[in-house]
Amino acid sequence: MIQSLFASPKSQRPKPEPVRTRGAGPAVSGGHDAKMVCREVNVFYEDFHALKDVTIDVNNREVLALMGPSGCGKSTFLRCLNRMNDTVDGARITGDVLLEGKDIYDPNIDPVLIRSRIGMVAQAPNPFPKSIYDNVAFGPRLHGLFDRKSDLDELVEKSLRRAGLWEEVKDILDHSGTGLSGGQQQRLCIARAIANGPDVLLMDEPVSALDPVAAGVIEKLITELAERYAIVIITHSLEQAHRIADRTAFFYLGELVEAGATEEIFTNPKDKRTKHFIEGMFG
């Protein structure tokens, strides 16, 4: 079903690019390898204009960091990418959001299909009050991604391994996911999201609630995941953006102020507001 709506992703996906795009490319796009394309996206909550004419690309095998002061519209933008704004009462969106060239807001496309291809990890870990196994198997079961029980077992193990959680939980797969520590829960949510086999992974401040060690584990994980997925991550930490992001986009009061290679933005911001923000953080 998914495959019939989007031309077979495996075969037509552009060849892996060995060279990461760090430090190169134009401001709003990596140019050669766009996974998602956003053109003049506007979001309104009732009368409130929360996002103004945002134009940016999300590239394959790249970590894009979204930064900006609280309330500037980062989460709003992230939710545009997987149509979660549809679930907000009174939210309205204009402009184009394309996934591999297809408009995800096409009325003929079910948002449920979009969300199964674009995974999301929320700011606060929200595992279901089910077993660890059932948490990870939730998406695959919804979408029928397996034929036999053993396939599902394998998928669950693979996802937990990739999220760096397998060793810790392999003997307690039947325990409740809510009984894990905060950092483990966050990795469980990541495992849950990647079990669907998404093309893009959206993360809203995934480590804001974690201690530096747990955060480090997840940062390493994000870097690894970026070898297969396009990742968009919201972060409030410049150091973190510096460590993991290939490109950084800076938002201010609903506008995309500037976007570009992380190095470039940090060392040589073109816009005054970006400069102030960065200096404020460092100073």
Ligand X SMILES: Nc1ncnc2c1ncn2[C@@H]1O[C@H](COP(=O)(O)OP(=O)(O)OP(=O)(O)O)[C@@H](O)[C@H]1O
Please give the residue ranges that form the binding site for Mg ion (CB under 5 A). 75
Instruction: Tell me which residues in 118-137 interact with another protein (CB under 8 A).
Output: 119-120, 122, 124, 126-130
| Helix and strand totals (H; E) in the chain | 12, 10
Q: Is 192 in the site for another protein (CB under 8 A)?
A: yes
Q: Which of 29, 75, 159, 196 binds ligand X (CB under 6 A)?
A: 75
Choice between 194 and 261, CB closer to another protein: 194
- In sequence order, the β-bridge partners of residue 38 are 56, 97
Choice between 21 and 82, CB closer to another protein: 82
Q: Is 187 in the site for another protein (CB under 8 A)?
A: no
Q: In whole angstroms, what is the distance from residue 184 CA to residue 94 CA? A: 37
Exposed/middle/buried for residue 62 (C-beta within 10 Å: 0-12, 13-18, 19+):
buried
- 269 contacts which partner out of ligand X, another protein, Mg ion, none, CB within 5 to 8 A by kind? none
State the number of CA atoms in the 13 A half-sphere of 168 facing the CB: 15
Least separation in angstroms between residue 63's CB and another protein is 19
CB 105 within 8 A of CB 97: yes
Least separation in angstroms between residue 4's CB and another protein is 16
Q: Is 14 in the site for another protein (CB under 8 A)?
A: no
- 88 contacts which partner out of another protein, ligand X, Mg ion, none, CB within 5 to 8 A by kind? ligand X
Which H/E stretch holds residue 249?
Answer: strand 247-252
Q: Which of 21, 82, 186, 248 binds another protein (CB under 8 A)?
A: 82
Q: Which of 76, 135, 186, 196 binds ligand X (CB under 6 A)?
A: 76
Q: In whole angstroms, what is the distance from residue 42 CA to residue 255 CA? A: 10
Q: Which of 74, 83, 162, 192 binds ligand X (CB under 6 A)?
A: 74
Q: Where does the chain have alpha helices with state H?
A: 2-5, 9-12, 74-81, 111-117, 132-143, 149-162, 166-169, 182-195, 212-225, 238-244, 262-267, 272-282
Q: Which of 72, 99, 165, 194 binds ligand X (CB under 6 A)?
A: 72
Residues 211, 214, 219: CA angle, nearest 5 degrees: 115
Write down the residue that tokens 């870097």 correspond to: 223
Choice between 49 and 170, CB closer to ligand X: 49
Residues that bind ligand X (CB under 6 A): 45, 48, 50, 70-76, 88
Residues that bind another protein (CB under 8 A): 82, 84, 87, 112-116, 119-120, 122, 124, 126-130, 138-139, 142-143, 178-179, 189, 192-193, 196
